[in-house]
Chain A
Amino acid sequence: MANFNLRKAEPKDVPDILRLIKELAKYEEMEDQVVLTEKDLLEDGFGNQPFYHCVVADVPAEHQKVEGYSVIGFAMYYFTYDPWIGKLLYLEDFYVMKEYRGFGIGSEILKTLSDTAVKNRCSSMHFIVAESNKASIDFYKRRGASDLSLQEGWRLFRIDKENLLKMSAEE
């Protein structure tokens, strides 16, 4: 199967994007964590000030292996900033449906994103991988990625809404 098309996501892709987000979350055993809705995705990605950008991979009708789906992969990304080196591209989600792996679609998506990063004068592309996800870690390391948590001791910290509210109330 050689035919696939990579393109910028459009509002009509939102239901497929959410479906693929949930599939990826399921693969990471975190499906119950997804609270995002189609409405959120539409407002946040296609309004005046998008919080994210998306590329999708679709296949023509004759190559559909799974009934009814032509959008079979996606990547969600946005631009961040490092005050030492400037603009970065942050890869939030990256997924190709199981039935469509092994055809170079993932590699092509990553190439497109890297090209986007370089064209936007980003010094680096950042992302998070679960340490248990050996397949993905190998995939990225083969492509020259390095593990900042292991090599430089980076730890991602988070405050969730409840504590965020408490913190914002402190004077």
Chain B
Amino acid sequence: MDFTIRAATLEDCKDISRMILELAEYEKVSDQVKITQRDLEQDGFSKNPFFHGIIAEVPEHHKSREGHTKVGYSLYFYTYSSWKGRAVYMEDLYVMPEFRGKDMGKALMSKVSQLGLAAGCTQLNFTVLDWNKSSLDFYLKQGCWDVTSDLGYHCMHCEGDALEHLAQGDL
């Protein structure tokens, strides 16, 4: 199937928002999505964007059952390793179920890799949930390695009230 991979624009935020919800549903946590289309427009397409996007698009005659031509996306941003320097973080990678098996996921990831390398990055990082066997297998096949398993690195966070208390100096 014909498809194109291109940089996301402001106009794509409606479809990105739709697909973010679809991905959250796939991960069984759609009630946790607080970001709106408007937030995406502001956070991704203003002077100092917090993320960048790429879209997988199919021609009109291959549109989805519900009439969408934008059928996959990836959101990424630049990070920094204090050991190795510039890095790129792939936050989301998603292809609509009816368009899977056509290498669109690989093409999106390849594009993020290209853009990262062009920006001087020497590594690409991302997170996978441990129950997501098909994604784990896909990534391991692409030459990725599991830092949590191999080095014992745990992802931690301090959010909401805990963050507020920390900011106020409470212990």
Chain A residues with a Cβ under 8 A of chain B: 21, 24-25, 30, 33-36, 40, 44, 51-52, 76, 78-88, 90, 92-93, 107, 110-111, 114-115, 117-118, 122-132, 137, 140, 142-150, 152-171
How far apart sit A140 and B154, CA to CA, in the bound complex (Å)?
A: 12
Looking at chain B's contact residues, is the secondary structure mostly helix, strand, loop, or mixed? mixed
Which residues of chain B have C-beta atoms less than 8 A from A118's C-beta?
163-164, 167
Q: Which residue from B79, B110, B129, B151 sits with its C-beta under 8 Å from A167?
A: B110
Do A30 and B83 touch across chains, with their CB atoms under 8 A apart?
Answer: yes
Task: List 5 A-B residue pairs with CB atoms under 8 Å apart, sorted by A's residue number.
Answer: A146-B162, A147-B154, A154-B148, A157-B126, A159-B144
Looking at chain A's contact residues, is the secondary structure mostly helix, strand, loop, or mixed? mixed
Do B106 and A170 touch across chains, with their CB atoms under 8 A apart?
Answer: yes
Known: A114-B167, A124-B163. A168 touches B117 (CB 8 A): yes
| Residue of B35, B43, B122, B168 with highest tally of chain A CB at under 10 A | B35
Q: Which residue from B33, B91, B146 sits with its C-beta under 8 Å from A157?
A: B146
Do B113 and A149 touch across chains, with their CB atoms under 8 A apart?
Answer: no
Chain B residues with a Cβ under 8 A of chain A: 16, 20, 24, 29, 32-35, 39-40, 43-44, 50-51, 75, 77-86, 89, 91-92, 106-107, 109-110, 113-114, 116-117, 121-131, 136, 139, 142-149, 151-169, 171
Do A25 and B162 touch across chains, with their CB atoms under 8 A apart?
Answer: no
How far apart sit A35 and B145, CA to CA, in the bound complex (Å)?
A: 20
Do A90 and B117 touch across chains, with their CB atoms under 8 A apart?
Answer: no
How far apart sit A169 and B106, CA to CA, in the bound complex (Å)?
A: 11
List the 7 closest pairs (A to B, CB-CB), nearest first: A144-B162, A163-B143, A153-B130, A124-B159, A114-B166, A168-B113, A149-B154
Which residues of chain B have C-beta atoms less than 8 A from A157's C-beta?
125-128, 139, 144-147
Do B91 and A82 touch across chains, with their CB atoms under 8 A apart?
Answer: yes
Which residues of chain B have C-beta atoms less than 8 A from A127's C-beta?
156-157
Which residues of chain A have C-beta atoms less than 8 A from B136's C-beta?
155
Do A126 and B82 touch across chains, with their CB atoms under 8 A apart?
Answer: no
Do A159 and B143 touch across chains, with their CB atoms under 8 A apart?
Answer: yes
Do B158 and A148 touch across chains, with their CB atoms under 8 A apart?
Answer: no
Which residues of chain A have C-beta atoms less than 8 A from B129's C-beta?
152-155
Closest chain B residue, CB of each to CB of A85: B34
Which residues of chain A have C-beta atoms less than 8 A from B162's C-beta?
143-146
CB distance from A109 to the nearest CB of B (A): 11
How far apart sit A40 and B154, CA to CA, in the bound complex (Å)?
A: 27
Do B156 and A158 touch across chains, with their CB atoms under 8 A apart?
Answer: no
| Residue of B34, B78, B129, B157 with highest tally of chain A CB at under 10 A | B157
Known: A35-B83, A81-B77, A158-B124. A148 touches B139 (CB 8 A): no
How far apart sit A79 and B76, CA to CA, in the bound complex (Å)?
A: 12
Which residues of chain B have C-beta atoms less than 8 A from A149's C-beta?
148, 153-156
